[in-house]
Structure 1
Amino acid sequence: MARLLLLFMLCGAVQAAEPARRIVSLSPHITEMLFAIGAGPRVVAVDEASDYPPAALALPRIANYRSLNLERILALQPDLVLAWRSAQQVQVQPLLRLGIPVAYSEPLRLQDLAEELIYLGELTGQRRQARAVAAHYLQQLDALAQRYQGVRPVSVFYQLGSAPLMSVNDGTWMGQAIRLCGGVNVMADSPAPYPQLNAEFVLARDPEVILASNEQELALWHQWPALRAVQGERLLTVDADLLHRFTPRTPEGIRQLCRQLDRARAE
């Protein structure tokens, strides 16, 4: 632990003088990024939601979205803990007081993920592979942006659950993905990133497409057959693992979302 010299702060996270050897990941998107840049063998424990890649499933589970198992983390003697800032900054305070270095990951824009990959490469000594993964990620985003530049706009309601009914504004990853695909998010201007709303609001906006992560969530809209999305059979699903978990696989999730919007343009 002593070999990690804290030189300066970058995005609220530490910069290491030497590569971390024993890493605890507290978020599935962090776990996936670490494995993507070749740092998987350095990960000694993960949170309960880290299920990709399959190798992560064999690691000890020492946290969930509510709490950390402090005793188990200390027993693993990590020299770096990686956490999701907005969700876990309070939870990791006991680790910081005990002198365990903690770095935060919280990419806000689609492009930010490339910088986070490079930063993780610096922390883990996987600089070359991290830069290669980051470059490929940005190339995919750029190709999608070029492909969907100037396409006909399609109005979209992006549904997150049904009890309560929630959605996303334009600042979220999903909102940015909709915009990249040429979609117009009917909740784009919401002051809350994940607003709760009632069905009447969606009925008034009458979107061409309604997206959700599964058919069960979409079932409620069948009681309003006059909705354009229902009439046109455009109650469509997206892969939540690829869109709700911000990782190098996210461009594939965006690609799927774009194809769903293409269905509305084809009619």
Structure 2
Amino acid sequence: MRTRTALSVPIAALAAALTLSACGGGGQDAEPEQKATEGFPVTVEHAGGEQQLKIDAKPERIVSLSATATEMLFDIGAGEQVEAADQTSNFPEEAPTEKDLSAFTPSVEAITEFEPDLVVLSDDMDGIAAKLKKVKTPVLHLPAATTLDDTYEQMRTLGAATGHADEAEKRTGEIEERLTEIADDAKKEIGGEKLSYYHELDDQMFSITSKTYAGEVYGLFGLTNIADEAKEQAGGYPQLSAEFIVEQDPDLIVLSEGGDKAVEELEGRPAFDTIGAVENDEIAQIDGDLSSRWGPRVVDFAEQVSEAAVAAAEKN
């Protein structure tokens, strides 16, 4: 089995409508305004649980500086509240991606141009959170998840922060249930096979260990990660040598970066033709977005891992 095609494994302007209603002065205008703030104020924990943020009213102009947060917001029903999303937010299709809005080199001016009542970010680059607080802009900091439980917690946090707590709770339950189903079905087909895998992040042979977020997903299928044997763990992202990979002889190789020739280039590395995964044509290519983002599309990532693992078991 060889997958060569990458699969794409962190606001409509409702505020304007609310303003028009509020300016009408009639008794019938008061009800929509009340509904908009129902359930608020709320206080949520963020920044890894080290901070709290009080949100007085339902945010109607959200700026997302995290591709994962953007996916989460749309998944829990808060997409119409997203006024702008950073240049890496390429999913879903309807996300209001702004090519000049950067999460890596954030600008207070560029962000406040959208008049946000809430900014969501995963990385506090250049101290942007403090800078935004100085101009009275609320910031919700949701760092990269390290476990699946982090994903569920962040989705619930966004749900509470945006007025979609029930939707977020429902979606986290659905995602958790679906992941269990995918893993259980795959393990039945894999049977007693003890499969090993190598997940390659780039052509410099950086990989992941089982202690990373993506590594936990692989763990759902009972797969053995060869990178766990590396002497230098590098915070969960070790750089492996060609000799080490050949020696470990993984049953499955998954590439999360590279173009159409990535598989061919890997096969051409010295001695790689002796690796079981290469001999059996068990090299899968998965869109890096699926394995690097910790949002609802983790289900898509798990489905691709399942397909690859089952195929490898059949040839092992």
TM-score if structure 1 supplies the norm length?
0.88
SS of 1:90's equivalent in the other structure is: helix
What's 1:92 paired with?
A: 129
CA distance in structure 2 between the partners assigned to 1:13 and 1:203 by the alignment: 48
Whether 2:234 is the aligned partner of 1:186: answer no
Partner letter of residue 136 of structure 2?
G
Q: Determine helix, strand or coil for the equivalent of 2:154.
A: helix
Pairing partner for 2:255 from 199, 207, 212? 212
- Where do 5+ consecutive residues of structure 2 fail to align? 1-36
User: Which position in structure 1 is the counterpart of 2:107?
Assistant: 69
| Structure-1 residue corresponding to 2:291 | 243
For structure 1, the 5+ residue unaligned runs are none
Structure 2 CA distance, aligned partners of 1:175 and 1:15?
34
CA shift digits 1:103-141 (9 cap, x unpaired): 111322113212211111111111222122111111112
8 Å contact 2:68–2:295 — kept in the other structure? Answer: yes
Aligned partner (choices 161, 164, 175) of residue 215 of structure 2: 175
CA-to-aligned-CA distance 1:53-97 (integer Å, 9 cap, x gap): 1111x4434533421132121222211111104x63733331123
Contact 1:157 1:187 (8 Å CA) reproduced: yes
Aligned partner of 2:238 in structure 1 is 195
Residue pair 1:25, 1:46 contacting (<8 A) in 2 also? yes
- Pick the aligned partner of 1:26 from 62, 65, 74: 65
Secondary structure of the 2:302 match is helix
**Which residue of 1 is the match for residue 201 of structure 2?**
160
Tell me whether 1:52 sits opposite 2:100 in the alignment: no
Q: Tell me the CA shift for residue 151 of structure 1.
A: 4.5
Amino acid at match of 1:233: D
Contact 2:90–2:97 (CA<8 Å) still a contact in 1? no
Q: Which letter does structure 1 place at the counterpart of 2:251?
A: E
Between 128-137 and 88-97, the greater mean CA deviation after superposition: 88-97
Secondary structure at the residue paired with 1:230? Answer: helix
Query: SS in structure 1 opposite 2:72?
Result: helix
Contact 1:206/1:228 (8 A) holds in 2:
yes
How far 1:13 moved relative to its partner? 5.2
Q: Please tell me whether Structure 1 or Structure 2 has the larger radius of gyration of its CA atoms.
A: 2
Mapped contact 1:67–1:91 kept (Cα < 8 A): no
Q: Is the 8 A contact 2:87 2:97 kept in 1?
A: no
Question: Cα 1:252–1:131, aligned 2, differ >3 Å: closer, same or farther?
Answer: same
C-alpha separation in 2, matches of 1:108 and 1:18: 30
Is 1:41 matched with 2:80? yes
Output the amino acid matched with 2:80: P
CA shift in 2, pair 1:35/1:7, >3 Å:
closer
Q: What SS class does the counterpart of residue 120 from structure 2 fall into?
A: strand
The aligned length equals: 262
Equivalent pairs: percent with the same residue?
27
Report the more deviating stretch, 128-137 or 142-151. Answer: 142-151
1:9 and 2:29 correspond? no
Match of 2:163 among 113, 125, 133: 125
Displacement of 1:9: 3.4
- Gap change, CA 1:13 and 1:228, over 3 Å in 2: farther
Moved segments of 4+, more than 4 Å: 3-8
CA distance in structure 2 between the partners assigned to 1:253 and 1:103 by the alignment: 26
Query: Hey, what does 1:116 align to over in structure 2?
Result: 154
C-alpha distance in 2, partners of 1:191/1:234? Answer: 27
TM-score (norm 2): 0.75
Q: Which fold has the larger relative contact order, with Cα–Cα distance below 8 Å and residues 6 or more apart in sequence?
A: 2
